Chains A and B, each alone.
Chain A
Amino acid sequence: MTEKNLVTAIHDTLHDEMAADDRVMLIGQDVGARGGVFKVSEGFMAEFGEQRVIDAPLAESGIVGVAIGMALHGLLPVAEIEFADFIHPAFDQILSEASRMRYRTNGDWGCPMVIRAPCGGGIHGALYHSQSIEAFYAHIPGVKVVMPSTPADAAGLLHTAIADPDPVLFLEHKKCYRLIKGDVPDVPQPTPIGQADVKREGTDLTVVSYGYELHRCLDAAARLEQDEGIHAEVVDVRSLAPLDTETILVSVRKTARAMVVYEDNRTYGAGAEIAATIAERAMFDLDAPIVRIGGPDIPAMPFAGALEHYYMEPEPDHILVAMRDLAHF
């Protein structure tokens, strides 16, 4: 085990995957000499060469489209979208092409590829460097969507994503990159896609979350336990699609209280799917209505500190307050 932050865990895992298999390629903007704007590929070009670490022209649809072509011809491309906010020109390539290649050919062709995209707010990124995009893609059958929240999960999920025979959208929360540290196994431990993880055990309520919000939920749960004796169980979904409904339902049936916390705009977000699943399948196990906390339904995260703070935390300790209210319902 070695303690690393999240971005270092991604760097090291991607490095090891490229070193182990010459089919693994990296294509994206500034991934070469610059080593990526977040330094995920620092040193890669020198070690693996320009052919495998491809500084792409400024064209997101082309980056994903070329990666699809590579995947169709035996390579294992990792396409980096510099910021998730810029992925939208590639939406058609992901929706109409990558996600449907296997289905539309009756299993004849497949697209083994990873699309990495740094996402999320709270880093003074404003409208176009803060966005949560997971709901758009989790809605598409044929694409897997994961968002690790700890360095160990980042390493394990990236390892699994590169080995996966189908397209995986690998979302990296920027605020977690250097803030979140943790032990990472020195030998890769695959983290299965589609498996949630109980990050904190508890008996009084279940909090389902992912990304940076997960850490705020864990923080609130620790304080509630210490100060008020409320024991919250915190489930990290890790994989938005496919969603591990069983782990969520087992927890909810145990605690009889459920809350979903996510950073994306509240309406039609991933929390809606999770809440609906709980309502459909565990309604009679619940002692309280499901609580859903999402970002405000404004077009995007504003820049000014006070405005950004409103997006991330509209009222002081709003997650903790909601958890307490739910526990006492």
Chain B
Amino acid sequence: MSAQVTETAHGSLGLGVDDLLAMHRTMLTARLIDEAALRQNRMGRAPFVVPVSGHEGCQIGTAWPMRPGIDIWVPYYRDLGVVLVAGMTPEQIFLGLFSKASDPTSGGRQMPSHWSSRGLGIVSHSSPISTQVPHAAGIAYAMKYRNEDGVVASWFGEGATSEGDWHEGLNIASIHRLPVVFICENNEYAISVPQSKQMAVADVASRAEGYGIPGFVVDGNDVLACFRVMKEAHDRARAGEGPTLIECKTYRFLPHTSDDDDKSYRSREEVEERRHHDPIERFATYLVDGGITDRAALQTVHDEVKTQVESAIKAAWDAPDPDPATATRHVFAEDDP
């Protein structure tokens, strides 16, 4: 069971003007952080950057129905937009980018973009792919066992769906009809390997049938379509109807990481063509055409976010580095000060 979702009109989604503008601002924040982070990389101040540009539509759209403080977020490393919705601030993002002592994800231990914050309900993840998917199932199991109202969402790329842990996590979650939503951000490439060499099917969502759960393909560059399919999945999870697999078709505009050269596997023409489907510009056009805002107001938002990002960079850069003497801490709980 897999269905296409394309509807974009916000009227039926229960989203007000403030929601729409906040969603747009968050998408823009992700984009401007991304661009600024790469500049920091080129300046030699950030050794490693994981770009998000192109994924903002599917990330903000699928993250928006989640309820901070109640639901649990199990993201992967490209999910800058997701963790912004969860409540991470630009300054916290840059504390991680610069691996500072007060980096909320790990105090500078993990590579940047390996998100975590217990206070925000963001579960720590690693670099091996799909290992977080069974964790999402286990958290959802605990929620169901405790009769909690929470929902777990786990995000990953299409390459992740080749991993055994992905299958094992979806299988167990489906057997127990757990309150969890699985979201694939399909950008067509796992670093350099195209989808045609990753799987023999056109849609990741079609695999949902193998688990007896609903699967949906959605235009990942349409933030409102992503919101709608996630909202419905979130409602199903809360109603005890079990997991949903959502596949957002999207595209990564930039290399896999700051250490990748995507010219070796994608033509410039292809990337340029895909930039014409930019989810932020598409949403801006929707907002302007619908009379929700105008270009001048959007420019003001752009300038405000840019200023906010610049001050976040300055504050984070000036923050103290981790003390080398702390490197042996937190192996076990009894080591904790």
CB distance from A215 to the nearest CB of B (A): 30
B134–A68 touching, CB < 8 Å: yes
A136 within 8 A of B: no
B160 within 8 A of A: no
Q: Which of A82-117 contact B (CB under 8 A)?
A: 89, 92-93, 96-97, 100-110
B136–A51 touching, CB < 8 Å: no
A74 within 8 A of B: yes
A142 within 8 A of B: yes
Contacting residue for A69 out of B116, B140, B329, CB 8 A? B140
CB distance from B40 to the nearest CB of A (A): 22
A66–B138 touching, CB < 8 Å: yes
B128–A96 touching, CB < 8 Å: yes
A56, A102, A141, A166 interface centre (most CB from chain B within 10 Å): A102
- Nearest A residue to B146 by beta-carbon distance? A74
16 further A-B contacts with Cβ under 8 Å, apart from A66-B137, A72-B135, A108-B117, are: A61-B164, A61-B165, A62-B172, A65-B131, A65-B137, A66-B141, A69-B136, A74-B146, A77-B138, A92-B165, A105-B124, A106-B107, A109-B116, A109-B124, A110-B333, A166-B332
Residues of B within 8 A of A67 (CB): 138
Residues of B within 8 A of A235 (CB): none
A75 within 8 A of B: yes
Within the assembled complex, what's the spacing in Å between the Cα atoms of A56 and B175?
10
Residues of B within 8 A of A109 (CB): 116, 118, 123-124
B109 within 8 A of A: yes
The 4 A-B pairs at the shortest CB distance, nearest first, are namely A69-B138, A65-B134, A62-B168, A106-B107
Q: A108-B116, A109-B118 are in contact. Are A73 and B142 (CB under 8 A)?
A: yes
- Nearest A residue to B173 by beta-carbon distance? A66
A96–B138 touching, CB < 8 Å: no
Cross-chain pairs A/B with CB under 8 angstroms, 16 sampled: A52-B145, A57-B171, A66-B134, A66-B172, A70-B142, A72-B135, A73-B139, A93-B131, A96-B126, A101-B124, A105-B105, A107-B329, A108-B117, A141-B331, A142-B331, A142-B332
Residues of A within 8 A of B128 (CB): 92, 96
CB distance from B131 to the nearest CB of A (A): 5
CB distance from A9 to the nearest CB of B (A): 26
Contacting residue for A93 out of B134, B141, B175, B332, CB 8 A? B134
Q: Which of A19-47 contact B (CB under 8 A)?
A: 25
- Nearest A residue to B118 by beta-carbon distance? A108
Within the assembled complex, what's the spacing in Å between the Cα atoms of A64 and B124?
16
A165–B333 touching, CB < 8 Å: yes
Contacting residue for A73 out of B124, B134, B143, CB 8 A? B143
B66 within 8 A of A: no
B123, B128, B134 interface centre (most CB from chain A within 10 Å): B134
Residues of B within 8 A of A51 (CB): 145
Within the assembled complex, what's the spacing in Å between the Cα atoms of A97 and B107?
17
B106 within 8 A of A: yes
B138–A57 touching, CB < 8 Å: no
A59 within 8 A of B: yes
- Nearest A residue to B107 by beta-carbon distance? A106
A100–B126 touching, CB < 8 Å: yes
Q: A62-B171, A73-B72 are in contact. Are A107 and B142 (CB under 8 A)?
A: no
**Would you give the 0/1 interface string for B140-155, flagging 1 where the beta carbon is closer than 8 Å to chain A?**
1111011000000000
B336 within 8 A of A: yes
A65–B169 touching, CB < 8 Å: yes
- Nearest A residue to B176 by beta-carbon distance? A54
Residues of B within 8 A of A106 (CB): 106-107, 109, 329-330
Within the assembled complex, what's the spacing in Å between the Cα atoms of A106 and B117?
10
B131–A96 touching, CB < 8 Å: yes
A59–B168 touching, CB < 8 Å: yes
- Nearest B residue to A52 by beta-carbon distance? B145
Within the assembled complex, what's the spacing in Å between the Cα atoms of A57 and B176?
11
- Nearest B residue to A97 by beta-carbon distance? B131
CB distance from A244 to the nearest CB of B (A): 15
- Nearest B residue to A69 by beta-carbon distance? B138
Contacting residue for B133 out of A57, A65, A70, CB 8 A? A65
Residues of A within 8 A of B329 (CB): 106-107
Within the assembled complex, what's the spacing in Å between the Cα atoms of A110 and B333?
8
B192 within 8 A of A: no
Within the assembled complex, what's the spacing in Å between the Cα atoms of A104 and B77?
14
CB distance from A156 to the nearest CB of B (A): 18
B106–A61 touching, CB < 8 Å: no
Q: A70-B138, A73-B139, A109-B116 are in contact. Are A92 and B330 (CB under 8 A)?
A: no
Within the assembled complex, what's the spacing in Å between the Cα atoms of A42 and B140?
27
Q: A65-B169, A66-B137 are in contact. Are A104 and B106 (CB under 8 A)?
A: yes
Contacting residue for B168 out of A65, A68, A97, A165, CB 8 A? A65
Within the assembled complex, what's the spacing in Å between the Cα atoms of A9 and B172?
30
B135–A57 touching, CB < 8 Å: no
A69–B145 touching, CB < 8 Å: no
Q: Which of B100-115 contact A (CB under 8 A)?
A: 104-107, 109-110, 114
Q: Which of B224-264 contact A (CB under 8 A)?
A: none
B114–A104 touching, CB < 8 Å: yes
Residues of A within 8 A of B146 (CB): 74
CB distance from B269 to the nearest CB of A (A): 38
A97–B126 touching, CB < 8 Å: yes
CB distance from A130 to the nearest CB of B (A): 25
CB distance from A58 to the nearest CB of B (A): 10
Within the assembled complex, what's the spacing in Å between the Cα atoms of A25 and B141?
11
CB distance from A91 to the nearest CB of B (A): 11
- Nearest A residue to B327 by beta-carbon distance? A103
Contacting residue for B165 out of A25, A62, A102, CB 8 A? A62
Contacting residue for A102 out of B117, B123, B333, CB 8 A? B333
